[in-house]
Chain A
């Protein structure tokens, strides 16, 4: 059976869940993944979705916008139903981000459900999905800890709240969690791949963080100079104008030739806060934006083959990309990239792919 996706813009959580259940009529999903605008009361939407899909593992989070095949939405719920011919096994757990030992317990417990130890999980057979409270500032240490424990790919996003920055929520089986993450371990029935796409090219300009406050994601100095001064020099701007460059000129940690984007957030005196932790002494390269539509289209086309068609995509797309797409009038074009592929996703407060990143779309692609 093909992967199915559904959407509802009904403001009442019960009616929205009913509309989605109606779209999935006749299906017997083992997993339902849903992403819901923060305009839905978290407890209600989580409870209603679980009531409709009592036999499935129901996982979700709040968003800063939703994605579904053919569309970028607001104030909606989107969902994907995965049956046993797509997912042969799933286990999920909640990680309390206030407990540094919680990730280890969760990962060991999830692996045990598949009769394995964490490091013995085959990266070609298993994949993790992680949904993290987007206001927790915990993504970096959580992804590091998970990465210490397993070699399987783990992909996901930080929950949003429609740019209010007050409260984000993650959901598992009818309950709501804050300052938490939901980690799901999946065994896809057939193939899968991960995509990380970010629309930037390198400028060759290096910024070395020489004084940082890692915990608060603040850079005090680059290259021995006040951060604002060094960044302004690198992008060729006046110090008073640098904020206007943040969206188009983030910095990238270049790992194995791939940029892991770190987006500047705001100026504080001569320091710059980022949406991602910046490590002292690790070289960063100033990036320059390219075309999101062209780059994302190419990333998907690269995977799509007649003998190996894509059956479904889960897309964790940075809110900064969403804002840029709307500003440029390209939001419809972005939705259209996925119009013929069962796709759900949401606009995130950060993306997860080995570590925490910004201004990126990370995707789990099912074949």
Chain B
């Protein structure tokens, strides 16, 4: 499998920002400050379980319900 991390990041940003470009930017910055660099992941990036778990935890902390 591949590409799950990018899907999760994009979904988290989409759910939190609700289409607001400024909030999208802020949310991506918040993720980076938490150690998740969205620019590093593509549709073919390996599914690193530790990173996936970290993103799920971040989503929980941010009150975001991931839909992927």
B25 at interface, CB cutoff 8 A: yes
In the complex, which of the residues A119, A123, A253 contacts B63, with contact meaning CB atoms closer than 8 Å?
A119
Contact A148 B62 (CB under 8 A): yes
- CA gap between A147 and B62 in the complex, in Å: 8
Does B62 contact A279, Cβ atoms closer than 8 Å?
Answer: no
Complex: how many Å from CA A4 to CA B32? 38
Closest CB in chain B relative to A288 CB, distance in Å: 22
Rounded to whole angstroms, the CA-CA distance of A286 and B61 in the bound complex is 31
**B26, B35, B61: the one within 8 Å of A151 (CB):** B26
List, in ascending order, chain A residues with CB within 8 A of B29's CB.
255-256, 258, 260, 354-355
The yes or no answer to B33 lying at the interface (CB within 8 A) is yes
What 0/1 readout, one digit per residue, does chain A (280-292) give for beta carbons within 8 Å of chain B?
Answer: 1111000000000
The answer to whether B33 touches A355, judged by C-beta atoms less than 8 angstroms apart, is yes
Interface residues on B, range: 10 to 19
Judging by beta carbons under 8 Å apart, are B25 and A256 in contact?
Answer: yes
Residue A144 lies at the interface, judged by CB distance under 8 Å to chain B: yes
**CB nearest neighbor in B for A357:** B33
Are A260 and B33 closer than 8 Å at their CB atoms? Answer: yes
Across the interface, A147 reaches (CB within 8 A) one of B22, B25, B28, B30, namely B30
Cα–Cα, bound, A28→B48 (Å): 58
Q: Are B23 and A148 in contact (CB under 8 A)?
A: no
With an 8 A cutoff between CB atoms, is B37 at the interface? yes
* Chain A CB within 8 A of B65 CB: no
Chain B contact residues: over half helix, strand or loop, or mixed?
A: helix
> B19 to nearest A CB, angstroms?
13
Partner of A144, one of B22, B25, B33: B33
A123-B22, A151-B23 in contact; A279/B35 too (CB < 8 A)? yes
Per-residue CB contact flags for chain A residues 128-144 toward chain B (1 = under 8 Å, else 0) read: 00000000000010011
List of B residues within 8 angstroms of A354 by Cβ: 26, 29-30, 33
Interface residue? B16 (CB, 8 A): yes
Min CB distance A48 to B, Å, is 38
B residues apposed to A, CB below 8 Å: 16, 22-23, 25-26, 28-30, 32-35, 37, 61-63
5 further contact pairs, Cβ within 8 A, besides A123-B23, A255-B33, A282-B35: A147-B30, A260-B33, A282-B32, A282-B37, A354-B26
